Structure 1
Amino acid sequence: MPDKSSEYCFSYHSLAESAGMLLGPLCASTLMYLGYPNVCKISAFIFIILVIIQIMLLPEKKSRSDKEKLNLISTNIKKVIYNKRFIILSLLMSGYFITFNQLYLLLPLSLKEAENEYFIAYIFLVYSLVTLAFQMKTTEVCERNLARNRTLGYGLLIMGSSFLFLLAPIPIIFSVILTTITMTFGNLMCFPVALSLVPELSKKEKPSYLL
């Protein structure tokens, strides 16, 4: 994708993740009819194939002495610590993950007393559908109209403000759905930009910053 920015690459990553979240449970439910032992065998086979692919694609590791390894680790740690912009981004993304993980914690807990236990599944269904429908368009609009630091900032602000819907005097299921939709749109703005900034702030010399 030479004509597209790195944000588009991570946007496709987000699409794949959402597709997996949407289709994964359906595939798992179908496989359960084959019996638990067969599901385990199929899963193990898939992971073995993925491991083989990784081994084939990953570059060979250079052999180093223990002293060289320690020096390399120490050097990399110093580079991270003294990279102030990277530290700021790390702190911001810590807030991002704390907020985003409420999709799995606070929101399902808010529905604990709902009459229909399947309401919890609506959270992940809404998140997946909104992401699949609007991720690429959101990335395109943000890239065309906003600087990346503003996109990241506005996205985090939208994600944080989404919890205000939980205080609204409306049925909890609607509050949770509105919170999920708003948080998802904030995530659509943040996720591609944040990941594309990592290799840039590390001067593209240490791709391991992405870890």
Structure 2
Amino acid sequence: MTISLRHARVRYGPLEALHGVTLTAPAPGLTVLLGRNGSGRTTTLRALAGVVPLSAGAVIWDGADVTRMPAFERARRGLCLVPERRAVFASLTVRENLELVAADLPDHLPYPELEPLLTRRAGTLSGGEQRMLALSRALALSARARVVLVDEPTQGLAPAVAARTYDLLASLDACVVLAEQRLPPALHGRRVLVHELGRGAVVFSGEAAERPARTARTR
């Protein structure tokens, strides 16, 4: 199972954010989209999810062209997007946020830190707590999720919680695509596919272990 962009272009008004991006994320496994702010990594996630339309190119999922499939239909078919911002329902409690995706909560949440906060409204949580809640919602969907797209998965999280988060995401039997500014230390040594973007174009694709050697060669 794979999800791919083929020669994808995305425009925001007169500005083109993606310039013919081609990349593939296989499953099961982790794929990391690397790049600085403005590189196009968030737009790439949104294009895969159908949140922004392509002005050219295609989205291919399991060999089928889903370019014109709306975002809600992709979600029904097992695609889950966790955006960097506004990833929880602020007016609902932590419990209500979780119950939207899983009627019966597990005995132990993936983030035990949330258990004493179940009756709190999500909008009153800290940034890190909201991130844990958004990720918990995605993990609760893991039984039927086929593609999980996460923008800045560990933003605001303590190092130990961040490391646990990567372990949780790596354990999913799904295509997991993460957008990061740099390769997290917790993923060093793992078999991870990397697509590095710069100014809306792919500048490197390959195994994470190949990047240091490539950088050394091109200096």
Structure holding more helix per residue: 1
Give your verdict on TM over 0.5: no
Sort the TM-score into its range (normalised by shorter chain). Answer: under 0.3
**Greater Cα radius of gyration, structure 1 or 2:** 1
Structure 1 length as normaliser, TM-score? 0.26
